[in-house]
Amino acid sequence: MNRTLEIELIDELIALKSARGLFLEEDIGHAPVERYASDDQFDTELELVFRRRPHLAAHVSELAKPGDFLRVDLAGRPVLVTRGKDGVARAFLNVCRHRGAQLVGENAGCQNRFTCPYHAWTYASSGELISAPHFASGFPDADKTQFGLTAMPTYEALGFVWVVPSPDSSLGAPFDFKNYFAPIAAEVSELDLADHVQVANDRISVAANWKIIVEGGIEAYHFKIAHRDTIAPFFEDNLSSFRSLGAHMRSIIPRVSLARLGDSPRDGWRLRDHANTLYSLFPTAQFLVQQDHVVLIVANPLAADHTELRIATLVPKSEAGDSELWMRNHAITRTTLDEDFALGESIQRGLTSGANAKLTFGRFEGALTAFNQSVADTIAAVS
């Protein structure tokens, strides 16, 4: 983040704090409960959002060298992510082109050839079909080059491998990742997440809609109440700011120490020491930037009421030595986020009870309205 912006964001929050003000929108917002509960809505999001937009598939450390591969599920599709001999990261449907068996069963490993367990069709890490038993006699007119693995748009940037989980051929045009991430890329690049290591990586299942989970992270209205036993003492009451950056969002959640900065020279102001910054990379990746480390929260929406989450702690390579410290940090993160997830599950259980036809967002919960607008805009743009 450039220095002018950093000072501007700090100034804005200090001014709000000293005026006892809040970061307010003009109007309150609403979201119909079906948006979180309906199978039709979920199916629409699956087709038009999750299968058309980039997902974080791997940290670069998980595909560090040629031959490294990972098996992941993205938007309901089985995906094989490889790093080829040429060093290029690629993603394919993990489905054999002969009769459709799952090609790779292991979650991760390192190899340059993948042999199907059914009839041994064998593919290179770059996707080509390189051998198949009795091919010439069994498939006399077939062209091997037409039987490569089904590739999907893949992009390596910001320390991660990103995948749009749809076959290249179904999208009409190449996905323009660069343009898509442009509004947020410079700031996230500065975090240098490629030079971080993942010291913890949990996968958990939450019985709540993916949007409820995102919404729980982009407002500070709940901090003093829901997190009273954990992080509440360190943060202001209901004070945060946000900006939409394309489909993405930057949220700033100030610590109580930020208000004291007003007495010190601006030259020494450093946002990261006095606030958490949350980058939400639409639709399903969030980077929670803390003073000395970054927490990754990645959603894999499985159903209207079911989301798998990856919660990882990334620390700079140079600082990774004290693993006990980082594991303690990660445990605090998990405890705090679990408070949010329990509330998310509680919301989900009551959604179709008849109590609410719609949920209501206060003027200081404008980030939720903006996020829901990104979902709606994406659906409208693609459909």
71 — phi, psi (to 5°)? -110, 125
The correct pick among 23, 36, 69, 121 for binding ligand FES (CB under 6 A) is 121
The token pair that represents 198 in the structure block: 């993942």
Residue 343, burial from CB neighbour count under 10 angstroms (0-12, 13-18, 19+): middle
Site string for ligand FES, 46-85 (x = CB under 6 A): ----------------------------------------
Distances (CA, A) of 75 to 54, 234, 284, 297: 10, 36, 10, 16
By CB under 6 A, residue 144 contacts ligand FES: no
139 binds ligand FES (CB under 6 A): no
With b for 16 or more beta-carbon neighbours within 10 A and e for fewer, the 245-274 pattern comes to bebbbbbbbbbeebbebeeeeeeebebeeb
- Cα-based distances in Å from 8 to 4, 13, 153: 6, 9, 37
Q: Which residue's CB is nearer to Fe ion, number 156 or number 340?
A: 340
Nearer to ligand FES, 100 or 109 (CB): 100
| Cβ neighbours around 186 below 10 Å, total | 11
**Eight-class DSSP state of 255:** B
| Residue 119 or 363 with smaller CB distance to ligand FES | 119
Least distance to Fe ion from the beta carbon of 280, Å?
Answer: 14
Q: Does 62 bind Fe ion (CB under 5 A)?
A: no
| Nearer Cβ to ligand FES (118/139) | 118
Binding of ligand FES at residue 326 (CB under 6 A)?
no
CB closer to ligand FES out of 96 and 367: 96
Rounded Cα distance between 11 and 3, Å, is 12
User: CB of 169 within 8 A of CB of 200?
Assistant: no
Site string for ligand FES, 98-117 (x = CB under 6 A): xxxx--------------x-
3-state secondary structure of 123: strand
Binding to Fe ion, residues 311-350 (CB under 5 A): 340
Is position 187 an interface residue for Fe ion (rule: CB under 5 A)?
no
Helix (H, G, I), strand (E, B) or coil at 294: strand
Q: Count CB neighbours of 139 within 10 A.
A: 13
Closest CA to 147 of 136, 164, 131: 131
Q: How far is the CB of 134 from ligand FES (least distance, A)?
A: 11
Q: How far is the CB of 225 from Fe ion (least distance, A)?
A: 10
Q: How far, in Å, are 167, 311, 364, 378 from residue 222 at the CA level? A: 41, 21, 11, 28
* 3-state secondary structure (DSSP) of residue 3: helix
Point out the residue whose Cβ comes nearest to Fe ion. 340
- If the CB atoms of residues 115 and 230 are measured against ligand FES, the closer one turns out to be 115
Query: Which of 205, 154, 162 minimizes the C-alpha distance to 57?
Result: 162
User: Which of ligand FES, Fe ion, none has residue 219 at its interface (CB below 5 to 8 Å by kind)?
Assistant: none
Residue 219 within binding range of Fe ion, rule CB under 5 A: no
- The nearest distance, CB 347 to Fe ion, in angstroms, is 13
Q: Residue 99 binds which entry of Fe ion, ligand FES, none, with Cβ cut-offs from 5 to 8 Å by kind?
A: ligand FES
* CB-nearer residue toward ligand FES: 121 or 361: 121
> Applying CB under 6 A, what is the total number of residues that bind ligand FES?
10
In the list ligand FES, Fe ion, none, the entry touching 340 (Cβ below 5 to 8 angstroms by class) is: Fe ion
Q: Which residues contact ligand FES by CB under 6 A?
A: 96, 98-101, 116, 118-121
